[in-house]
Structure 1
């Protein structure tokens, strides 16, 4: 397993993971939903992960919470009983509550792009889209979409600034460097964006890579 996934997180019985070789989970991370993870993305200690999709080369710091279920604050009560869920409780009478409309955007899984850095103690709510190259400052609560290559922070999270000048952002969005094999980056200076972009643009399709993909559920590993 360690050759294709560095460490197994804690998984609840109903959880599943689709992932590209290779990604990394802290052993204290907990997966509570159905997730999809891109190559070389890693999760720090004590992350709690509900339903979500995340791309390649993402850095997720400790204590991040992503995509947990939303309660119904417009119902008479926010308790799960009232949207027809017994939750962790037993011997509950049938017929209590009204099922939620899970087609609403607030119940959809968050989708996180590639090369996203998520700082410690961040909370990412359901239904949001986070663009490629975004940075989310520690302690932020993300309730709305985040544009590519922007830095967000605060509660709720708000835009602080762009990471780079607009013309560089446009080039980075175009080359999608995370789709290239690792040996494509050998000898390149990552602090010189113009040179990096120029060299990646010279590469042919033979440098693109499709990483092996796997699926885990009920402690069973399947290659896709």
Structure 2
């Protein structure tokens, strides 16, 4: 029996070609995507990598996105390669213009590198969101449309705006702790299938009755 879409498919539903499992189309080794995470874009969901800009292997930063994330069209992940040196007289990147100006090539130590960009599991990102370098967004977070994310967002919080600000928690602390403990996104496909009614229920007490695997 099949317990949901094939995780290695490009299009989980062949009738909806605007939704793509992006783990199965990325080619850059410095982009790491979890199973079932999708990008939704009628103009070409399979072109997701075009929305990860200024991403150069020599810098070494990674874009890491967890499982079961929903990413709407217009996303832009700005990576560390967009940064210019800020402690010199000018921020102008002479070196990339060549023709002798490459003598002004900065070292990595000259640049304000922010590290990897990390998106947790079960994160929903609305349309036309921009995420700046080095941002960490926790599991279960929601990012409102048209936001510019410049600071980390905690797990199971709703955030929005430009600059993006945390607006409120989705659940109380006890339920958030429980969800971060059971990590439903790591369950086998059959267990997820068997508990779809619980995962999609507005009765939040049901999920608290599911114990962590180690108990």
TM-score by length of structure 1 reads 0.69
From 1, 8, 11, give the equivalent of 1:4.
8
Deviation at 1:38, TM superposition (A): 0.3
List aligned pairs for 1:139-154, cutoff 5 A.
139-154=146-161
| Deviation string, structure 1 residues 84-126 (Cα, Å, up to 9, x no partner) | 4x2xx5544441242232785x431211110001111111111
Matched, 1:195 2:192: no
Where 2:168 maps in the other structure, the secondary structure is strand
Distance 1:30 1:131, change over 3 A: same
From 10, 22, 25, give the equivalent of 2:22.
25
From 65, 77, 91, give the equivalent of 2:90.
77
Unpaired segments of 5 or more residues in structure 2?
1-5, 12-19, 42-46, 56-61
List aligned pairs for 1:170-189, cutoff 5 A.
170-185=177-192, 186-187=194-195, 188-189=197-198
Distance 1:3 1:158, change over 3 A: closer
Where 1:101 maps in the other structure, the secondary structure is helix
Where 2:82 maps in the other structure, the secondary structure is coil
Distance 1:180 1:3, change over 3 A: closer
- C-alpha separation in 2, matches of 1:107 and 1:131: 17
Conserved? CA contact 1:25–1:44, under 8 Å:
no
Higher helix residue share: 2
| Deviation string, structure 1 residues 162-184 (Cα, Å, up to 9, x no partner) | 01122111111111111101221
Name the structure, 1 or 2, with higher relative contact order (CA <8 Å, separation 6+). 1
Unpaired segments of 5 or more residues in structure 1?
8-22, 206-224
- C-alpha separation in 2, matches of 1:154 and 1:31: 31
The aligned residue for residue 214 of structure 1 is none
Where 1:56 maps in the other structure, the secondary structure is coil
- C-alpha separation in 2, matches of 1:32 and 1:202: 35
TM-score by length of structure 2 reads 0.71
- C-alpha separation in 2, matches of 1:138 and 1:101: 34
Conserved? CA contact 1:140–1:153, under 8 Å:
yes
